[in-house]
Amino acid sequence: MANEIRVRFAPSPTGYLHVGGLRTALYNYLYARKVGGTFILRIEDTDQTRYVEGAVENLLATMKLVGLQADEGPEAGGDYGPYYQSQRTELYRKYALELVEKGAAYYCFCSTEELDKMREEQQKDGYVTGYDGRCRNIPPAEAAARANAGEDHVIRLKTPDEGEVFFYDVVREKVTFDWNMVDDQVLIKSDGFPTYHLANVVDDHLMEISHVIRGEEWLSSVPKHLFLYEQLGWKPPKMAHLPLLLNPDKSKLSKRQGDVAVEDYLNKGFLAETLLNFIALLGWHAKGDQELFTLAELEKEFSLKRVTKSGAVFDIEKLRWMNGHYLKTMELDKIVTAARPFFTEVFGEIDENELRELVDYSRPRAATLKEMPGECKTFKEEIEYSEEDRAILQEAASQEMLAFWADKLSLQEHWDTEAVNKLLKKTSEKFGLKGKKLYFPLRLAMFGSVHGPELDKIIKLAGRERCIARLKAVSRET
Ligand code: GLU
């Protein structure tokens, strides 16, 4: 099993899935699919201070909504569980103590006040702030005795003081850090829980992760992690750090400039298919210039080699364009299902056949599912006419023709294209009208605008009854 590819998405549940998180999840998923590996979901929930009610459920639900299913994880199960770090705390403690035993970690008894004071002094003297290692010198036996006696403590990693550390990142190639920039990282906090760094390394090892694929913000943690692997006698996984996501002004993607939660985009009426396609291109490109991909195509096309180093701009206009494309081209059934809640929100309960018609009509006219009902308002709600519209409707010839149509529509229930064309021909002959004179008043009366769909389509979308009522209302208005 040693060469098996195993990758993981390891979110800390914060209450919502960030688009950057979705990108990390997607790239891990795609890489696993591409090489026939295993995609693991691990919940990194050891920070008790950041606990948010319902956050894990929300995360799992969002992953499901976008169609990224883990092969192993809290729901899928697997041989390497539990997949919640909060259920693995004993393990982390064991390895922290092993590190203390080996002299690679030490007990630290500094209080918060003492640490604050230290930081203040460092700032005042113009030094880089960071733990100065003052508890390193407590004799190990004395430190262990104090910890065992119940004195408040943390366990810190004893990172090298000087020299350089370098590693090869799949995306960033050779990366070098100075050890003197690396802090003596806390591994076990005073509440007994591990920090991200310890838990992450222990689990990546125990879960036999072959590649760590995650956001660039974690790059600076790699030296500590490599040191942990080395001290525990473990082989580190390969690393691939994904470029930052940026706002159009090249600042880091932030809540202040727009939405960052995946569910916000879903609620705004972007399709899961669009989001995956769009997000796949934030830091990766295909061999050619193809930009539109289904998930199945991405699974074949993806390669870590084509992940870029430079930051990727989150361009909302491109997202809208892409969503418009999917709305137009995806199977109608799928769009109807996705659009249903947006239509019922605006129009209340809606008949299935009517919904299909409205969705089919509005999908090429909107960029999001949410915009689609707006395109259909004219079929469902009262029409407001401008002065200009009224003038057209009130012409004598129009009036007669509209009354004639109201009568004719009342005579039979079904009006397909052929029937409507026949009626149009008859109308044209009877009233001597054609072109604008014929179509504009009819379309205005039944649809509210002189331009728009064919008349048979309008009758279908607005419904025959409503069309009759509308024709009668405007032909009586003189
Ligand atoms: N729990 C970390 C996060 O929330 C995981 C980082 C990593 O993948 O190592 O992003």
pLDDT, tens only, 44-78? 999 878 888 899 999 999 999 999 999 999 999 99
Distance (Å, whole) CA 108 – CA 156: 7
The β-bridge relationship of strands 186-188 and 154-157 is antiparallel
Tokens linked to 217:
């913000």
| Residue 216 CB less than 6 A away from ligand 1 | no
| Residue 184 CB less than 6 A away from ligand 1 | no
128 pLDDT above the threshold of 90: no
3-class SS string, 298-360: HHHHCCHHHECCCCEECCHHHHHHHHHHHHHHCCHHHHHHHHHHHHHHHHCCCCHHHHHHHHH
pLDDT value, residue 250: 87
Which residue among 52, 218, 226, 238 has the greatest number of ligand 1 atoms within 8 angstroms of its CB, and so is best to mutate?
Answer: 218
Tokens linked to 185:
């990282």
Give the number of the atom of ligand 1 that is nearest the alpha carbon of residue 44: 1
Tokens 């470029």 -> residue: 243
3 pLDDT above the threshold of 70: no
What share of residues in the chain are helix, strand, coil (percent, to 5)? 55, 10, 35
Sheet holding 105-108, edge to edge: 105-108, 154-157, 186-188
pLDDT value, residue 417: 95
477 pLDDT above the threshold of 70: no
| Residue 467 CB less than 6 A away from ligand 1 | no
CA distances from 340 to 65, 212, 337, 462 (A): 16, 39, 5, 18
| Residue 14 CB less than 6 A away from ligand 1 | no
Which residue among 8, 17, 24, 196 has the greatest number of ligand 1 atoms within 8 angstroms of its CB, and so is best to mutate?
Answer: 196
Average pLDDT of 213-225? 96
Q: Tell me the pLDDT tens digit for each residue of 385-440.
A: 999 999 999 999 999 999 999 999 999 999 999 999 999 999 999 999 999 999 99
Give the number of the atom of ligand 1 that is nearest the alpha carbon of residue 221: 9
381 pLDDT above the threshold of 50: yes
Across 34-138, the runs of DSSP E, i.e. the strands, are 38-41, 105-108
Average pLDDT of 131-153? 95
| CA of residue 11 to ligand 1 center, whole Å | 5
CB atoms within 10 A of CB 235: 9
Which residue CA neighbors atom 6 of ligand 1 most closely?
10
| Residue 225 CB less than 6 A away from ligand 1 | no
pLDDT value, residue 476: 73
pLDDT value, residue 440: 96
Tokens linked to 446:
């039944």
| Residue 221 CB less than 6 A away from ligand 1 | no
pLDDT category at 478 given cuts 50, 70, 90 is very low
Residue 255 bears catalytic tag: yes
pLDDT value, residue 27: 98
Distance (Å, whole) CA 346 – CA 476: 30
1 pLDDT above the threshold of 60: no
Distance (Å, whole) CA 3 – CA 159: 30
pLDDT value, residue 2: 45
Among candidate residues 255, 300, 309, 422, the one labeled active-site is 255
Give the number of the atom of ligand 1 that is nearest the alpha carbon of residue 196: 1
| Residue 211 CB less than 6 A away from ligand 1 | no
| Residue 13 CB less than 6 A away from ligand 1 | no
Per DSSP, 385 falls in state -
Q: Tell me the pLDDT tens digit for each residue of 277-333.
A: 999 999 999 999 999 999 999 999 999 999 999 999 999 999 999 999 999 999 999
Distance (Å, whole) CA 213 – CA 87: 23
Give the number of the atom of ligand 1 that is nearest the alpha carbon of residue 12: 4
Tokens 């007669």 -> residue: 400
Distance (Å, whole) CA 259 – CA 254: 8
Per DSSP, 67 falls in state T
184 pLDDT above the threshold of 60: yes
| CA of residue 233 to ligand 1 center, whole Å | 23
Give the number of the atom of ligand 1 that is nearest the alpha carbon of residue 9: 8
| Contact residues for 149 (Cβ-Cβ < 8 A; gap 6+) | none
| Residue 406 CB less than 6 A away from ligand 1 | no
Per DSSP, 330 falls in state S
| CA of residue 305 to ligand 1 center, whole Å | 22
Average pLDDT, the chain: 94
| Contact residues for 130 (Cβ-Cβ < 8 A; gap 6+) | 122, 183, 184
Distance (Å, whole) CA 249 – CA 158: 40
